[in-house]
Structure 1
């Protein structure tokens, strides 16, 4: 049995701790997490592998979008293989239009079995009415003066109607 803590990426504490079977696949975990936060589970979602500092890695999408079955999908990823040890982590993004982002952390793995799983055992905070804004920062590539092409500086005064 896995005890998993799921934390919404927001200023307020919105946390769920859920118990699930080791043999659960990530698609079933997706529906369990969505339900525990009050979603219907009808929106697109992905898990992302991550390291201990929550740096986003490989995507595990809800559906395999690759040609000829080359990619992975939630349905083919089993929990005990994807998150094999305690403190294994994933980032979970639900509803790409709103970008609800959650941190998923395995806090305990046991050999105990229960008949009432999946089950939410801790419910802290309420989901905000709107998803928190996400701030995406690009690397700084220099000032406008540094942007040259082979013909010189780009000119903001260029009038495309001249031609």
Structure 2
């Protein structure tokens, strides 16, 4: 079976992507298709989360194995086929692509189709709008903000600056302290 997913962003209402993915593919295969389509740096961490109807995070599927001594903290996305966790229309995923600021794309299973033998899956079947910027630190500011704004306190301190650092404090010599 082929799963058709719709992806939206809460940062740009004009952004939309539809992907068709073989249900036997792993979440890692889907992740790679998303990364390639959006032009994201594949060296950055990302995770899928199963989500409920209100988009609350459930089980995490990670890019790297985060196993600890007691139990697995999350499931590596290359170990799970999509059909193992999703099988009904309207099931949801969050794709967290900037883990430090928790920026996500919202993904919903919108259709289940028969495979087309002429198509190599996964495939992006609809692409509207520009991809979001991958990392929040890459946002460009519209205006340059000066690092230091002159203020009244700085002006007062400047009045007292001179070569020996004592200014007009009424001391003739440092030894008088």
| TM-score between the two structures when normalised by the length of structure 1 | 0.72
Matched, 1:47 2:51: no
How many Å apart are 1:15 and its aligned residue?
Answer: 0.9
1:118 alignment counterpart: 122
Q: 1:86 to 1:130 in 2, by over 3 A?
A: closer
Name the counterpart of 1:58: 59
Aligned counterparts, 1:1-163, within 5 A: 1-67=2-68, 70-71=71-72, 72-97=75-100, 99-114=102-117, 115-129=119-133
The offset of 1:68, in angstroms, is 5.3
The two structures have a TM-score, normalised by structure 2, of 0.66
Q: Pick closer, same or farther for the CA change 1:126–1:113 going to 2, 3 Å.
A: same
Q: How many residues are matched?
A: 133
Gaps of 5+ in 1: 134-163
Per-residue CA distance 1:91-133 (angstroms, 9 max, x = gap): 1101324544101111111232434221111011112447679
Q: Which is higher, the Rg of structure 1 or of structure 2?
A: 2
Corresponding residue SS for 2:25 = coil
